[in-house]
């Protein structure tokens, strides 16, 4: 997808990445242009960004000149006296906005991975400008008339299947952006989009600022009992960096649950950590997001009504594989009862351990992961700390993630040190096909830092396209705590599976083989985009892959077979908790986006709305709070509004696919080539569910997911397929 249209669509969906803005600032002087890396293609391999030359002062001039240039390009297309053709309208749009595309791609990538005050200020200043610029294009009546003329006569254009789909997608994108509205309606929509862009930026900046400000300060090292020596050293280093010499700092992740809770023996400290986490964005002060939430939900509901939809979910889901809120509700509703039942059985086991140890208290959220590790140790005779010496980060990446990609697809990787990076912790790799030709460049950014948003994600700096001739440059981002200098980076099992997951996204981008930028890489429906990445998780514990990377970081000795067997046996352990916390968040997302504007709660009632929604949906279980509460639920204030269900929806497809792979021999080149040819290389150039069927050979079934998550409650064949076209 071209950057311009990607951001235009982002504006209509309320994504965190705002669209562009119309400005009247004249282009920068020629001398300034020559010194600005965004005004020309990067001369580095595959047009890799010139991070060593890019300065924050380059962004605003590139934004301003890039928007002015794109508006001229669009005006020329819209006012072309010649009749609309595929070349002079659609292809011309695909080629437009190059300067702006380069600048915004790098800017928003850096805002996520390594922000600073200057970048945050720019983000705030340009969010409404970007929205206005997007609207100036998507609501251009003459431009839409040309697109519509091509759409109406598409069968007579002599296009191939990908070209026909491109015409269809452009028409759909314009219509969903409000092209059919009256002039007063367009004016109202522009105002809404502008305010939503500003609010979304403020929300995301509040979340990042508060997650840093909420770090827990611990006075006494004895309170950190249960943490490893390297973890304690890291906590001391974080405190020293904040001017708190002699104290200890535990930083927070953006999720409700916090990893140290599984280790800390001090229950009061675990409670402090939990309470610091769950009150974020809702306790008053400068980072309180409740007023923003109420306003965003109101605007989204009003905008959906303006565009002809009953609610924001109906609008957002129409263009996904799910199609309707009813389909999503049915699937989530089918999964919730067995998930909660499993979580309650797990809670009973945890309470039994508490009682056995003489604990005079009832299981609370801050106890769950701590006692889960005790039960895990008792059931499977190991805990996560036993695994970590075998899970050194670089070894996991190069001899695990890369090894699996080599065995399945024939890919090889070579680290390079000559390319500039935006942070010293970043590493780069050339990626080669089995025949030795270069496929792309992969950027690995694995460590957490205060300038980086929470979570894990993939992004593309350069997207593949036959039209442009570009090959992909893609990046993976994790938030692994960085150990003290000289110490190894030892991962948890969750961090290992996250690394495999994100590389699944990277493969989706790297394997892209489409003609038009619109369809490149991961430009697929939100509820399909997680699917290939979830499939890639299966190789994390695939025996031949695990044996290749799970080696003691000191001696190189392989993980003992007995421990490996325990890891595999415990694969469904604690699944009730994991499914319930996820479903609670996904169902909250739907509740927020399936209401009309008059039902949106006032800021003071945001938390009460959450509780009532969870109870109504039968997913309320206090020991297992939602993975995200609304005030720090960045997914749904950004690109996953009404779309957080996508992870489990995609997992239905993933579970079907992993069963297919296992039944057809597993980690083989034949399977990899089939996956690449039928699905991973196609981007958004074909209907998502057609791609799925081309790969697996049948409609999706829900039973494989129920088996995978230990939730099977009925005989095979009794359920219905979870996805429909």
Residues serving a catalytic function are 502
The three-state secondary structure class of 461 is strand
The answer for 475, left when phi > 0, alpha when psi is -120 to 50, beta otherwise, is beta
Give helix then strand counts, H and E, for the chain.
29, 7
Distance CA 658, CA 537 (A): 10
Which element (helix H / strand E) includes 277? helix 267-278
Exposed, middle or buried, 611 (CB in 10 Å: 0-12/13-18/19+)?
A: exposed
Backbone φ and ψ of 57, nearest 5° = -70, -10
Q: Considering only CA atoms, give the Rg of the chain.
A: 25
680: which DSSP letter?
I
- The single-letter DSSP state of residue 465 is B
Q: List, in order, residues 6 or more apart from 613 with CB less than 8 Å away.
A: 587, 588, 591, 592
> Rounded to the nearest 5°, which phi and psi values hold at 423?
-150, 145
Within 8 A by CB and 6+ apart from 356, the residues are none
Q: What is the residue-wise DSSP string for 596-646?
A: -GGGPPPGGGHHHHHHHHHHHTT---TTS--SS-GGG-HHHHTTTTTTTTH
283 vs 214: CA distance, rounded Å: 12
CA distance 158 to 49: 37
Contact at 8 Å (CB) between 444 and 426? Answer: yes
Q: How open is the CA angle 299-301-305, to the nearest 5 degrees?
A: 115
Query: Which residues neighbour 151 within 8 Å (Cβ) at sequence distance 6 or greater?
Result: 167, 168, 170, 171
- Crossing angle of the two packed helices 365-380 and 267-278, in degrees rounded to 10: 120
SS3 439: strand
Q: How far is CA 205 from the centre of its chain?
A: 17
């Amino acid at each position: 997808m071209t950057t311009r249209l990607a951001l235009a669509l982002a504006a209509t969906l309320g994504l965190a990445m705002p669209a562009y803005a119309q400005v009247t600032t004249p282009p920068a002087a020629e001398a300034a242009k020559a010194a600005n890396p965004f005004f020309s293609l990067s001369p580095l391999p595959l047009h890799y960004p010139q991070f060593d030359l890019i300065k924050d002062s380059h962004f605003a001039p590139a934004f301003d000149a890039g928007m002015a240039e794109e508006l001229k390009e669009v005006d020329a297309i819209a006012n072309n006296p010649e009749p609309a053709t595929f070349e002079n309208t659609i292809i011309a749009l695909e080629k437009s906005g190059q300067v702006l595309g380069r600048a915004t791609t790098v800017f928003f990538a850096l805002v996520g991975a390594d922000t600073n005050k200057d970048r945050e200020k720019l983000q705030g200043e340009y969010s409404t400008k970007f929205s206005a610029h997007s609207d100036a294009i998507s609501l251009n009546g003459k431009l839409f008339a040309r697109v519509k003329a091509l759409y109406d006569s598409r069968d007579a254009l002599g296009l191939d299947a990908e070209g026909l789909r491109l015409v269809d997608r452009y028409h759909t994108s314009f219509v969903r952006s409000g092209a059919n509205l009256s002039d007063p309606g367009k004016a109202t929509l522009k105002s809404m989009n502008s305010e939503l862009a500003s609010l979304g930026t403020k929300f995301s900046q509040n979340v990042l600022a508060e997650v840093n400000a909420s770090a827990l300060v611990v006075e006494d090292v004895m309170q950190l009992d249960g943490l490893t020596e390297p973890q304690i050293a890291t906590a001391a280093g974080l405190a020293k960096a904040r001017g708190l010499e002699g104290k200890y700092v535990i930083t927070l992740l953006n999720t409700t649950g916090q990893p140290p809770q599984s280790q800390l023996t001090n229950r009061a400290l675990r409670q402090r950590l939990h309470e610091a986490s769950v009150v974020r964005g809702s306790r008053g002060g400068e980072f309180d997001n409740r007023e923003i939430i109420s306003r965003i939900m109101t605007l989204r509901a009003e905008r959906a009504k303006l565009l002809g939809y009953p609610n924001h979910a109906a609008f957002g889901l129409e263009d996904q594989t799910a199609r309707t809120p009813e389909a999503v509700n049915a699937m989530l509703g089918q999964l919730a009862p067995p998930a909660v039942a499993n979580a309650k059985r797990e809670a009973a086991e945890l309470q039994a351990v508490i009682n056995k140890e003489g604990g005079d208290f009832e299981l609370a959220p801050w106890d769950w992961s701590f006692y889960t590790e005790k039960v895990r140790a008792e059931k499977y005779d190991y805990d996560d700390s036993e695994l970590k010496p075998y899970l050194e980060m670089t070894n996991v990446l190069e001899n695990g993630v890369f090894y699996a990609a080599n065995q399945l697809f024939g890919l090889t990787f070579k680290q390079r040190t000559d390319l500039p990076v935006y942070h010293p912790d970043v590493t780069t790799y050339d990626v080669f096909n089995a025949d030795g030709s270069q496929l792309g460049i992969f950027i690995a950014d694995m460590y957490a830092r205060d300038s980086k948003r929470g979570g894990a994600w993939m992004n593309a700096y350069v997207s593949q396209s036959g039209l442009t001739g570009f090959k992909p440059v893609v990046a993976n981002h994790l938030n692994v705590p960085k150990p003290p200098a000289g110490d190894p980076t030892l991962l948890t099992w969750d961090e290992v599976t996250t690394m495999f997951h994100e590389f699944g996204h990277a493969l989706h981008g790297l394997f892209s083989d489409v003609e038009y930028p619109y369809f490149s890489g991961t430009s697929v429906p939100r509820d399909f985009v997680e699917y290939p990445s979830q499939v890639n998780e299966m190789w994390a514990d695939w025996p031949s892959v695990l044996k290749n990377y799970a080696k003691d970081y000191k001696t190189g000795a392989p993980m003992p077979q007995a421990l490996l067997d325990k890891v595999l046996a415990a694969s469904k352990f604690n699944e009730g908790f994991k499914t319930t916390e996820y479903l609670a968040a996904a169902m909250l997302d739907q509740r927020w986006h399936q209401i009309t504007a008059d039902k949106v709660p006032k800021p003071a009632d945001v938390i009460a709305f959450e509780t009532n929604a969870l109870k109504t949906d039968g997913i309320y279980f206090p020991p297992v709070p939602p993975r995200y509460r609304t005030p720090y639920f960045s997914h749904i204030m950004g690109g996953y509004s009404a779309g957080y269900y996508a992870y489990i929806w995609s997992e239905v497809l993933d579970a079907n696919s992993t069963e297919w792979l296992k039944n057809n021999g597993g980690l083989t080149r034949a399977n990899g080539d089939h996956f690449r040819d039928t699905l991973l290389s196609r981007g958004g150039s074909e209907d998502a569910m057609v791609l799925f069927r081309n790969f697996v050979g049948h409609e999706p079934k829900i039973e494989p997911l129920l088996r995978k998550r230990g939730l099977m409650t009925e005989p095979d064949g009794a359920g219905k397929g979870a996805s429909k076209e």
